[in-house]
Structure formats: structure tokens, C-alpha cells
């Protein structure tokens, strides 16, 4: 499971510069909608090749899946897109590092998981590593906490809340079905939003560039569909609290991918931050979290 989660973080990390490149030339709502559309197509093909039919689920499960898609796909994407426009990239990166402690807290409060002291120490070390990498980045600037940060935190809470629903759903429903259903409904929500509020003319013009298609295909198929399917599988097996410390690796791999793909510089603090994150991840995932 650790190897799978590390691969997910690598895929998500490479997705950061891909999305950054896309949002530089395309309306953000259409970037989100088209990425999710491609992810849904990949999951649909995979489901059809495996089962030769689409799933038939009880109405009650569709209600849970609809709530999950609203939180994890639609609300998270909309809050992230709008929050990024109201705050600095540095502040946003630091806020993303709140996902592991929020996940652990949610697991303790809602899933009745006992959190050991080693886990809390691991969270602190991981957050320190992410903070070092983000604050020392060239041109880093922390903005005054305000509306942008509040919007991003709402997006993080949506992600964590949806993750808890996925953790429950994955115990009764096949993970591929969960992924397909969640992204299918979330895509419809994002497409409706993009058609009402997005700039399709700008998006259509950007799609005439081959590199845009390359970033979009990677982001939708690998960085979203396959990586998120693996994440759903992981949190269904070991729970979001135990999987979440690996999310500290995401900013690190994101920085490394940005250096390779976009030519952004690296410094000594990246190595120190990576070591802190690795230590924190090991401490945060080694002990098992027993139910109360």
C-alpha cells in the first residue's frame, strides 16, 4: 500500500504543473470540466471492458455517490479555482498541507479512530517540511488571510468530507464503480457550471495547440482518473487517516515536477523539506489506528 500511495503522489505532483500550464491559456472552469470529462471516459472504458455493462445500484447508494461527487469533484474544484484567484500561490500551497491533519481530525471525530502520539508528531514534521519548501520558494509571498484562504479551506473540507464518504462506500461498492459514478456526476455538474459561467471561446482556441492536448490528456487520464482510482482503493482499505500523511509528499513531488517540466529552480531546502516529509510520513503511517 505505501508504494501505491507514493505512486499516487508522484502522479498528482506531475499534475500540478500540467494544470498550471492549462490554466495559463484556458478558462479555469473549462479546465476542470474537461479534465473530469476525460477521467470519466477512461473510467467508463475500464468499467465496460471489465463488466461489459454499466453498474446498477440501489437509489440509496446513488444518493451517497451524488453527495460524494458534489463534495470531492464539483465543490472542491470550484472552491480551488476561485480561491486561487483571491490569494497567493504560497498561501494556497500551505493551506493544501492542512489536508492530513484535517483528515485525521475528521477520522477521530466521525469515524471514531484513535490517533496515536506518533501520528501527531508525523503530522507536525510533514507540515514543517512542506512549510520550508513553500516559504523558501523563489518569489514566495504569504498573503493576509482573507476571503481567498476561506474559500480554499472550504474546498479542503469538501475534499476531506468526500473522502470519508468514499471510505464508507468502498466497503460495499467496487472502487471502480465508486470512481466512475463519482466522476460521472461531478463532471455533469462542472460542465453545467462551465457552460453558464466559463469562457468556451478561450478554451476552444487553446485546444488548437498540441501541447495543450498533451497536458489535458495526462491530467485527465493519469493525474485524475488512474491516480484518484488508486487513492479511492487505498482509503477504502486502510482509511483516510492512515493514507493522508502521504499527501505531504504531494507538494514535494509537485515542486520536482515543476522543475523538470517548467524549468523552475531547486534549492537545498527542497532536500531538507523532502527528508522532513519522509520522516513525518513514516511516523504518521507506521502505527495502526485502532477504532475506539
What pLDDT was estimated at residue 290? 35
pLDDT per residue rounded down to tens, the chain (292 residues): 788 998 998 898 888 778 878 888 888 889 889 999 999 999 999 899 988 888 888 888 888 899 999 998 999 888 877 776 665 554 555 566 666 666 666 666 555 556 566 666 766 776 677 666 656 655 555 555 556 667 777 887 888 888 888 878 888 888 889 889 999 999 999 999 999 988 999 999 999 999 999 999 999 999 889 998 888 888 878 776 677 778 777 767 776 776 677 665 666 666 776 677 667 666 655 444 333 3
Q: pLDDT at position 291, please?
A: 33
Domain with 92, as residue range(s), is 2-285
- The answer to the question of residue 256 being in a domain is yes
Q: Which helix (H) or strand (E) holds 30?
A: helix 28-51
**Per the structure, how many domains does the chain have?**
1
Residue 292 counted as domain residue: no
Q: 152: Cβ–Cβ under 8 A, 6 or more apart, which residues?
A: 79, 80, 83, 84, 87, 92, 95, 96
Whether the Cβ atoms of residue 175 and residue 236 lie closer than 8 Å to each other = yes
- Is residue 147 in a domain? yes
Inside any domain, residue 83: yes
The reply to whether 193 falls in a domain is yes
How far apart (Å, rounded) are the C-alpha atoms in residues 288 and 258? 34
Does residue 106 lie in a domain region? yes
Look at residue 290 and tell me if it is in a domain: no
Q: How far apart are CA 136 and CA 270, in angstroms?
A: 9
Contact 167, 240 (CB under 8 A): yes
* Residue at 253 is within a domain: yes
Alpha-carbon distances of 178 from 4, 41, 153, 267, rounded to whole Å:
18, 14, 25, 40
Cα–Cα distance between 37 and 221 in angstroms, integer? 9
Amino acid at each position: 500500500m505505501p508504494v501505491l500511495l507514493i505512486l499516487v503522489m508522484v502522479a498528482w505532483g506531475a499534475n500540478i504543473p500540467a494544470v498550471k500550464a492549462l490554466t495559463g491559456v484556458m478558462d479555469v472552469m473549462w479546465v476542470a470540466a474537461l479534465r473530469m470529462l476525460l477521467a470519466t471516459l477512461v473510467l467508463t472504458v475500464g468499467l465496460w471492458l471489465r463488466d461489459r455493462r454499466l453498474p446498477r445500484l440501489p437509489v440509496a447508494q446513488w444518493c451517497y455517490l451524488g453527495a460524494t461527487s458534489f463534495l470531492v469533484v464539483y465543490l472542491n474544484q470550484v472552491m480551488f479555482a476561485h480561491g486561487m484567484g483571491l490569494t497567493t500561490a504560497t498561501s494556497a500551497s500551505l493551506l493544501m498541507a492542512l489536508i492530513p491533519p484535517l483528515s485525521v481530525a475528521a477520522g477521530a471525530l466521525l469515524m471514531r479512530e484513535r490517533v496515536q502520539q506518533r501520528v501527531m508528531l508525523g503530522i507536525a514534521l510533514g507540515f514543517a517540511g512542506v512549510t520550508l519548501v513553500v516559504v523558501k520558494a523563489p518569489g514566495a509571498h504569504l498573503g493576509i488571510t482573507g476571503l481567498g484562504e476561506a474559500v480554499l479551506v472550504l474546498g479542503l473540507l469538501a475534499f476531506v468530507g468526500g473522502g470519508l464518504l468514499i471510505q464508507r462506500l468502498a466497503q460495499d461498492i467496487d472502487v471502480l464503480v465508486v470512481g466512475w459514478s463519482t466522476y460521472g456526476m461531478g463532471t455533469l455538474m462542472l460542465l453545467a457550471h462551465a457552460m453558464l459561467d466559463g469562457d468556451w471561446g478561450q478554451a476552444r482556441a487553446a485546444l488548437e495547440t498540441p501541447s495543450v492536448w498533451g497536458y489535458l490528456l495526462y491530467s485527465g487520464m493519469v493525474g485524475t482518473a488512474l491516480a484518484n482510482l488508486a487513492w479511492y482503493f487505498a482509503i477504502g482499505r486502510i482509511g483516510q487517516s492512515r493514507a493522508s500523511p502521504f499527501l505531504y509528499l504531494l507538494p514535494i513531488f509537485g515542486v520536482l515536477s515543476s522543475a523538470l517540466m517548467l524549468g523552475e529552480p531547486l534549492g537545498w531546502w527542497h532536500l531538507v523539506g523532502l527528508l522532513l516529509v519522509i520522516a513525518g510520513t513514516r511516523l504518521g503511517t507506521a502505527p495502526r489506528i485502532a477504532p475506539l
